[in-house]
């Protein structure tokens, strides 16, 4: 098994950070213009009354925290001008207002232009302040109910939910105000104006509840372009852009009604690109091939082409909670991070999983980008409120090449067959005609080869002269005692067999006579009545030590039963003495 | 420095050339440290992020140092290993205020120590816990602990707090390095 080391460094994990952050509510930006990228996020307090705070993290520490008027829907950061120092602004979509912060201070506020009421609704509101009778209220409210709820203004929507006895107070709240529809902002994103550089002016693009998309001027924050996302009711909740505003751009509007619309330059009404069967959870646009990766309910991750054709769908192991784009510009790699229930985060390159990361628990928002001085940081905020930073190792390699081939790609290339030569054709003809003969001859040769192998094996077997003889089950060991120059050699022949007696054994000892003088060179009768036979041999050493070979032989055998080589001990020190 | 030593160094006897590698993450202050050892007129006032590497020369106690001031930017860190083979000492600069990236420092240090050209060589390692004057700087003890420096058994190492802008702590560290390099060069020769 391949040794797996993580490609990620666990930089920081704060389990009880208590953050409640939704997707698209966290960004990274050099908001103080010092090259040190901060993490900016919206922390929502789901307590009694919903509250939200805009928090700024520098490294692992919280450096700023300011309350927001209402619950924001999304957070973006962009450069609105290129005056030194380069300071990006932070745009927070709060209800009907788009708040812009610069240098972490409120800078500008854009309010979504109002839309006129339907005639029925405006008629009702003209009459409402003048009625006092409860039955009249009922009639008017019924009139309001006849209008589609989503096209009503927010005040009418609220009025319909108020109990009848409180209705007078509710109406009095709005006295003197002209009723109009102020759609709230549901999503926002940025669109580069005229340059693809890292630091370049971008326009803010905001989408509203009633399906309108506004492109704002970066400097004056006035509406540059206004378009409706589709000819049917659609409420956008994610916007993705590509291209440049001044040249050519494309805005993908992902709507809660499970369709995705596209808006191009000059269009005042978008077109539906595709629809999905299940509810869309999150979507990420890949600028490389202009495809859109969409996560839908039911553990589906799909990819749609620029033209809206579905390219692939994969089932994930758990329900998807959020997506994020991991762009590694240095290696020109774009991965999609998929956060799932149970805290698994899978990184997809195309349809293949290239890496698996685990978060402390289910991630609620993911973000990848430069943080502080480090370029490749993955920020994970979990549902339980943990804040986790993971740094991608410099040496990380996603083995994208090997992944490419492992996929179930249909091989269209034909096999590399060699040309049909004359020789080959003749051989085939011969084989066809004499199939039987060829087979028989082959079998014959095979049997012959096996016989030769068996013979060679048999021939080799008796040559075995290791310390143990398996056939005879004899063991021979030797022990040398004494310091020299006279040694005692004790030979020990052991019968390992339980059934066979060892009879008629004798031993021959062989050594260099110039080195050793043995008391006897042949031991004639090695008796095996007693299991151990010790035969002391006196050796006299005068020169360097050497081997003494022992051959144990049977009376009628022409091969030794067992042999041994004995290394004699060193006697050099005797010379010194 | 005695008169004799001055004479010796003037004549160029006993002078040894050593290569020192200056590594560390980007924005840790490597170039500022190297800049500090340069002569008065060669000093630059504006330190910009290093691209690739710079070679600077300076002297300390008869040793002529050639400092390879490597870029610490992620995409240039691959260059470091090409200079491991013939370096006599390594200066590893750490930004003590950057607690977030301490794990990256550790990763880079481990990669350095595992490199075949470093692993079996006795190279002195000098760590500068730089930017020690900043309010949220970690102490050198904490840095040494979080980098696991106590695991380095086969190489002499030393950590010293520094402030590259004022030059505080730099000389103390380089004195140590000079001594170590001198010892190693001497033992190699004989």
User: What CATH number did the domain enclosing B98 receive?
Assistant: 3.40.50.300
- Determine the residue of chain B that is closest to A58 in CA distance: B100
**Which residue has tokens 């011969």?**
A430
The pLDDT-based confidence of B2 (bands split at 50, 70, 90) is low
CA–CA dist B23, B25 (Å, integer): 7
Q: Using one digit for the tens of pLDDT, what is the confidence trace for A334-368?
A: 999 999 998 899 999 888 888 889 898 999 999 99
The pLDDT-based confidence of A448 (bands split at 50, 70, 90) is very high
**A11/B25 touch (CB, cutoff 8 Å), yes or no:** no
Residues 107-126 (B) with a CB less than 8 A from some CB of A: 107-108, 111
Residue A47 lies inside a defined structural domain of this protein: no
| 3-class DSSP assignment, residue A496 | coil
Residue A555 lies inside a defined structural domain of this protein: yes
- Identify the top-confidence range among A431-435, A445-449, B16-20, B155-159: A445-449
In degrees and rounded to multiples of 5, residue B66 shows phi and psi of -115, 110
pLDDT of residue A486: 76
Give the distance from residue B115's alpha carbon to the nearest chain A alpha carbon, in angstroms: 13
Decide if A326 contacts A336 (C-beta within 8 A): yes
Residue A539: pLDDT above 80? Answer: no
Instruction: State whether residue A59 sits within 8 Å of chain B by CB.
Output: yes
Q: Using one digit for the tens of pLDDT, what is the confidence trace for A379-401?
A: 999 999 999 999 998 888 876 65
Decide if A274 contacts A260 (C-beta within 8 A): yes
Residue A360 lies inside a defined structural domain of this protein: no
Residue A559 lies inside a defined structural domain of this protein: yes
Alpha carbons within 13 angstroms on the beta-carbon side of residue A332 total: 2
Decide if A215 contacts A244 (C-beta within 8 A): no
Please tell me whether B72 is known to bind a ligand. yes
Instruction: State whether residue B51 sits within 8 Å of chain A by CB.
Output: no
Q: Which residues of B touch A391 (CB under 8 A)?
A: 101, 103-104
Instruction: State whether residue A389 sits within 8 Å of chain B by CB.
Output: yes
The residue among B93, B103, B106, B109 with the most chain A CBs within 10 A of its CB, best to mutate, is B103
Residue A469: pLDDT above 60? Answer: no
Q: Which residues of A touch B104 (CB under 8 A)?
A: 9, 11, 374, 391, 394
Pairwise pLDDT comparison (A214 vs B10), residue with the higher score: A214
Q: Which residues of A touch B75 (CB under 8 A)?
A: 330
CA–CA dist A102, A80 (Å, integer): 10
Residue A513 lies inside a defined structural domain of this protein: yes
User: Which range of residues forms the domain containing residue B43?
Assistant: 3-189
Cβ neighbour number for residue B1 with a 10 Å cutoff: 9
Q: What is the DSSP letter of B150?
A: G
Decide if B73 contacts B26 (C-beta within 8 A): yes
pLDDT of residue B4: 56
**A375/B74 touch (CB, cutoff 8 Å), yes or no:** yes
Give the distance from residue B103's alpha carbon to the nearest chain A alpha carbon, in angstroms: 6
The pLDDT-based confidence of A526 (bands split at 50, 70, 90) is low
Residue A550 lies inside a defined structural domain of this protein: yes
Instruction: State whether residue B188 sits within 8 Å of chain A by CB.
Output: no
3-state helix, strand, coil in chain A (%, to 5): 20, 45, 35
User: Which range of residues forms the domain containing residue A514?
Assistant: 468-576
pLDDT of residue A388: 92
Give the distance from residue B77's alpha carbon to the nearest chain A alpha carbon, in angstroms: 8
- Domains identified in chain B, total number: 1
Single residue among A173, A199, A217 that ends a domain in this structure = A173
pLDDT of residue A530: 40
Decide if A22 contacts A364 (C-beta within 8 A): yes
pLDDT of residue A239: 93
- Domains identified in chain A, total number: 2
Q: Using one digit for the tens of pLDDT, what is the confidence trace for A285-318?
A: 998 888 999 999 989 999 999 888 889 999 999 9
User: Which residues does residue B40 pair with via DSSP β-bridges, in sequence order?
Assistant: none
Residue A268 lies inside a defined structural domain of this protein: no
Q: Using one digit for the tens of pLDDT, what is the confidence trace for B91-121?
A: 999 999 988 899 999 999 999 999 998 888 8
Instruction: State whether residue B171 sits within 8 Å of chain A by CB.
Output: no
> What value does the mean pLDDT of chain A take?
82
pLDDT of residue A4: 57
Alpha carbons within 13 angstroms on the beta-carbon side of residue A230 total: 22
- Identify the top-confidence range among A3-17, A172-186, B2-16: A3-17
- Determine the residue of chain B that is closest to A372 in CA distance: B100
Please tell me whether B107 is known to bind a ligand. no
Pairwise pLDDT comparison (B1 vs A441), residue with the higher score: A441
Counting beta carbons within 10 angstroms of the beta carbon of residue B114, is it exposed (0 to 12), middle (13 to 18) or buried (19 or more)? exposed
Pairwise pLDDT comparison (A43 vs A48), residue with the higher score: A43
Single residue among A173, A191, A215 that ends a domain in this structure = A173
Q: Which residues of B touch A376 (CB under 8 A)?
A: 74
Q: Using one digit for the tens of pLDDT, what is the confidence trace for B55-92?
A: 988 887 777 889 999 998 888 888 898 999 888 899 99
Residue A489: pLDDT above 50? Answer: yes
Single residue among A173, A195, A216 that ends a domain in this structure = A173
Q: Which residues of B touch A373 (CB under 8 A)?
A: 25-27, 98, 101
Instruction: State whether residue B88 sits within 8 Å of chain A by CB.
Output: no
Give me the total of CB pairs closer than 8 Å, taking one residue from chain A and one from chain B.
Answer: 44
What separation in angstroms does the CA of A173 have from each of A70, A152, A155?
19, 18, 10
pLDDT of residue A572: 56
Q: Using one digit for the tens of pLDDT, what is the confidence trace for A218-276?
A: 999 999 999 998 888 888 999 999 999 999 999 999 999 999 999 998 899 999 999 99
Residue A571 lies inside a defined structural domain of this protein: yes
Residue A411: pLDDT above 50? Answer: no
């Amino acid at each position: 098994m391949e040794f797996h080391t993580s490609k990620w460094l666990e930089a920081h994990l704060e389990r009880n950070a208590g953050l409640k952050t939704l997707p698209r509510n966290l960004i990274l930006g050099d908001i103080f213009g010092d090259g040190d990228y901060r993490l900016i996020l919206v922390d929502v307090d789901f307590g009694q009354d919903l509250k939200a705070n805009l928090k700024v993290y520098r490294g692992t520490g919280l450096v700023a925290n300011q309350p927001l008027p209402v619950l924001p829907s999304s957070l973006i950061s962009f450069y609105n001008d290129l005056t030194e120092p380069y300071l990006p602004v932070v745009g927070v979509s709060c209800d009907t207002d788009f708040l812009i912060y610069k240098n972490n201070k409120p800078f500008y506020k854009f309010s979504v232009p109002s839309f006129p009421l339907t005639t029925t609704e405006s008629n009702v509101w003209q009459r409402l302040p003048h009625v006092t009778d409860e039955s009249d209220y009922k009639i008017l409210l019924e009139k309001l109910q006849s209008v589609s709820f989503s096209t009503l203004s927010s005040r009418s929507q609220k009025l319909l939910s108020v109990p009848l006895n409180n209705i007078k107070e509710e109406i009095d709240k709005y006295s003197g105000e002209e009723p109009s529809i102020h759609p709230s902002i549901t999503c926002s994103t940025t669109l580069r104006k005229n340059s693809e550089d890292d630091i370049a002016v971008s326009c803010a693009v905001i989408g509203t509840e009633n399906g309108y998309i506004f492109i704002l001027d970066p400097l004056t924050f006035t509406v540059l372009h206004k378009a409706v996302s589709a000819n049917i009711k659609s409420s956008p909740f994610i916007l993705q852009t590509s291209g440049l505003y001044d040249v050519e751009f494309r805005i993908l509007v992902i709507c809660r009604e499970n369709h995705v619309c596209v808006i191009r330059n000059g269009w005042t009404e978008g077109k539906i690109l595709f629809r999905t069967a299940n509810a869309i959870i999150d979507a990420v646009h890949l600028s490389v091939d202009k495809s859109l990766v969409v996560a839908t309910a039911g553990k589906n991750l799909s990819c749609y082409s620029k033209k809206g054709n579905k390219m692939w769908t994969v089932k994930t192991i758990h329900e998807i909670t959020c997506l994020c784009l991991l762009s590694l510009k240095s290696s020109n790699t774009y991965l999609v991070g998929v956060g799932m229930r149970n805290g698994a985060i899978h990184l997809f390159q195309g349809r293949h999983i290239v890496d698996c990361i685990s978060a402390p628990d289910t991630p609620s928002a993911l973000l990848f980008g430069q943080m502080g001085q480090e370029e490749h940081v993955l920020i994970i905020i979990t549902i339980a409120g943990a804040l986790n930073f993971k740094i991608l190792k410099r040496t990380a390699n996603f083995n994208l090449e090997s992944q490419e081939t492992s996929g179930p790609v249909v091989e269209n290339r034909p096999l590399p067959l060699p040309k049909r030569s004359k020789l080959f054709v003749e051989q085939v003809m011969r084989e066809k005609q004499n199939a039987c003969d060829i087979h028989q001859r082959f079998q014959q040769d095979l049997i012959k080869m096996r016989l030769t192998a068996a013979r060679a094996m048999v021939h080799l077997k008796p040559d075995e002269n290791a310390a143990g003889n398996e056939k005879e089950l004899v063991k021979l060991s030797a022990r040398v005692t004494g310091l020299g120059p006279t040694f005692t050699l004790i030979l020990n022949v052991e019968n390992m067999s339980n059934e066979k007696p060892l009879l008629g054994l004798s031993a021959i000892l062989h050594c260099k006579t110039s080195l050793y003088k043995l008391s006897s060179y042949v031991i004639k009768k090695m008796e095996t009545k007693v299991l151990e036979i010790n035969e002391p041999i006196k050796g006299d050493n005068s020169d360097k030590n050497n081997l003494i070979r022992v051959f144990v032989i049977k009376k009628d055998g022409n091969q030794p039963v067992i042999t041994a080589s004995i290394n004699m001990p060193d006697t050099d020190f005797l010379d010194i003495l | 420095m005695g008169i004799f030593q001055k004479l010796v160094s003037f004549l160029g006897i006993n002078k040894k050339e050593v290569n020192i590698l200056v590594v560390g993450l980007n924005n840790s202050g490597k170039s500022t440290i190297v800049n500090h050892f340069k002569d008065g007129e060669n000093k630059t006032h504006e330190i910009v992020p290093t691209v690739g590497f710079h070679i600077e020369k300076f002297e300390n106690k008869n040793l002529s140092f050639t400092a390879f001031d490597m870029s610490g930017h992620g995409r240039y860190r691959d260059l470091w290993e090409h200079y491991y083979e013939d370096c006599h000492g390594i200066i590893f600069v750490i930004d003590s205020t950057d607690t977030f990236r301490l794990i990256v420092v550790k990763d880079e240090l481990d990669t350095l120590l595992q490199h075949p050209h470093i692993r079996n060589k006795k190279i002195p390692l000098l760590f500068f816990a730089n930017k020690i004057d900043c309010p949220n700087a970690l102490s050198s003890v904490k840095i040494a602990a979080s980098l696991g420096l106590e695991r380095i058994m086969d190489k002499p190492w030393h950590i010293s707090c520094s402030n590259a802008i004022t030059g505080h702590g730099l000389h103390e560290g380089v004195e140590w390095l000079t001594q170590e390099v001198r010892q190693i060069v001497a033992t190699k020769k004989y």
